[in-house]
């Protein structure tokens, strides 16, 4: 079974992001970049399935600028077999990403596609669902458990009321939730081996996909600072402040 895993280059989750001075976007100068945490979970799940003998090949795919090769190499160090970079300097949006992934799926014919449920930069939670719609594949989103059995896969989904179990026929698209697994760290030997693993580079034009953005960001600014809260001694003081200072009662 071949599995396609999408990985996205994002600002490291430990970094406090700041907008540019002109408000046109996020300042990425000298900022540490990393694989989107949900994508790391997707890679880990694919590697675990390979270790169980269910998966025979893992292909890591990223869409973005040339520097995204760094995140593909990390995925290769974590256990992926080869990488594909769809190189573009355009800030691609979910629908364009889904179309590009569909084009890659048409070439690679994977039996399963695993993605993070969302990226921590855009927080859109759209690409997996769009990819499933475009390819006609079954979909299991927000997965907290994945069990492959022959030509089907059972996915336990995180939903508002608890969990839901769905059985999907392969090929299928699966998006990962936090409870699915805990990603491993790449060992130094595997990091060195990753440098020799193959990586193909292609462009949206070669795949026949228009990645022109459909949504324009008008302004980016930090959240407004809020006044610090205070502690009150008793209910009478609370009511007094709500009435005379906050004027909400």
pLDDT score recorded for residue 164: 95
For residue 230, pLDDT beyond 90:
no
pLDDT score recorded for residue 45: 97
For residue 154, pLDDT beyond 90:
yes
The domain made up of 2-244 has a fold known as Rossmann fold (3.40.50)
pLDDT digits (tens, 9 = 90+) for 25-56: 888 888 999 999 999 999 999 999 999 999 99
For residue 246, pLDDT beyond 90:
no
pLDDT digits (tens, 9 = 90+) for 73-92: 999 999 999 999 999 999 99
Strands 199-202 and 162-169: unpaired
Domain segments of the chain as ranges: 2-244
For residue 225, pLDDT beyond 90:
no
Provide the pLDDT confidence category of residue 223 given band limits of 50, 70 and 90. Answer: confident
Confirm if 77 and 69 have CB atoms less than 8 A apart: no
Length of the chain: 249
- For the chain, the distance separating the N- and C-terminal CA atoms, rounded to the nearest angstrom, is 64
- What is residue 208's DSSP assignment? T
Mean pLDDT for the chain overall: 94
Percentage of residues in the chain with pLDDT exceeding 70? 100
For residue 189, pLDDT beyond 90:
yes
For residue 224, pLDDT beyond 90:
no
């Amino acid at each position: 079974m071949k599995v396609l895993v999408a990985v996205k280059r994002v600002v490291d989750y430990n970094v406090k992001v700041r907008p540019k001075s002109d408000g046109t976007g996020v300042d990425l100068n000298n900022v540490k970049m990393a694989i989107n945490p949900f994508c790391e979970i997707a890679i880990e799940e694919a590697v675990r399935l390979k270790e169980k003998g269910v998966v025979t090949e893992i292909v890591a795919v990223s869409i973005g600028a040339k520097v995204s090769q760094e995140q593909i190499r990390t995925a290769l160090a974590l256990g992926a077999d080869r990488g594909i970079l769809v190189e573009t300097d355009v800030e691609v949006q979910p629908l364009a990403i889904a179309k590009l992934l569909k084009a890659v799926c048409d070439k690679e014919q994977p039996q399963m596609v695993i993605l993070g449920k969302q990226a921590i930069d855009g927080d859109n939670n759209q690409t997996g669902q769009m990819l499933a719609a475009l390819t006609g594949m079954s979909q299991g989103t927000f997965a907290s458990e994945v069990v492959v059995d022959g030509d089907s896969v059972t996915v336990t989904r995180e939903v508002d009321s608890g969990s839901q179990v769905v059985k999907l026929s392969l090929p299928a698209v699966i998006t990962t939730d936090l409870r699915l697994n805990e990603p491993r760290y790449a060992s130094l030997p595997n990091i060195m081996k990753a440098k020799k693993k193959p990586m193909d580079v292609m462009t949206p034009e070669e795949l026949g996909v228009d990645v022109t953005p459909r949504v324009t960001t008008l302004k980016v600014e930090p959240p407004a600072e809020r006044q610090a809260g205070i502690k009150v001694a008793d209910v009478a003081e609370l009511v007094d402040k709500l009435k005379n200072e906050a004027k909400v009662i």
